[in-house]
Amino acid sequence: MITLDTSFVLLHYFSKEPAVLKKSKEVLHYCRLAGNGGILPSMVLAESYAIIRRDTGREVAEHRFKELVDSGLKVVPLSQEMARESGIIRAKYHEKIPWGDCLIAGTHIVERADAVLSEDPHFKDIREVKARTLTELKI
């Protein structure tokens, strides 16, 4: 299972590089196959919506939000256990990891996913998760 970060979602929707778009589509296809799985933390939905709305407007943000929710990925709302794990990470790393990344990592840990797919360097600092960039991910 792969936990998708906001940076992946933004690459998927906004990259101008054909190789990046091809790989992001392959990742989404892989995540939807039976037996695999793609996790989309609710924090990623919130961050993606805000950035897309800021950069392209409300209509596009609403369309992309619905597209993600209906994508077949497992949208995971924040649970009490995830909140606790997120707080542990935030405290353990002396508040140097942004809250959004802590919430995504906490979701990832509780869901027992294999890797976080992110371009964000903060995830490489969190020892409890295996972080991969789009180019590093082997599918």
The band of 33, judged by pLDDT with boundaries at 50, 70 and 90, is confident
pTM (2 d.p.)? 0.94
The band of 34, judged by pLDDT with boundaries at 50, 70 and 90, is confident
The DSSP code for 127 is: T
High-pLDDT (> 90) share of the chain, %: 94
As to burial, measured by CB atoms within 10 angstroms (0-12 exposed, 13-18 middle, 19+ buried), residue 88 is middle
Q: What is the pLDDT of residues 55-99, one digit of tens each?
A: 999 999 999 999 999 999 999 999 999 999 999 999 999 999 999
The band of 35, judged by pLDDT with boundaries at 50, 70 and 90, is confident
pLDDT of residue 61: 98
As to burial, measured by CB atoms within 10 angstroms (0-12 exposed, 13-18 middle, 19+ buried), residue 86 is buried
Q: What is the pLDDT of residues 87-138, one digit of tens each?
A: 999 999 999 999 999 999 999 999 999 999 999 999 999 999 999 999 999 9
| Domains of the chain, first to last | 2-132 (3.40.50.1010)
With contact defined as beta carbons under 8 Å apart, do 60 and 25 qualify? no
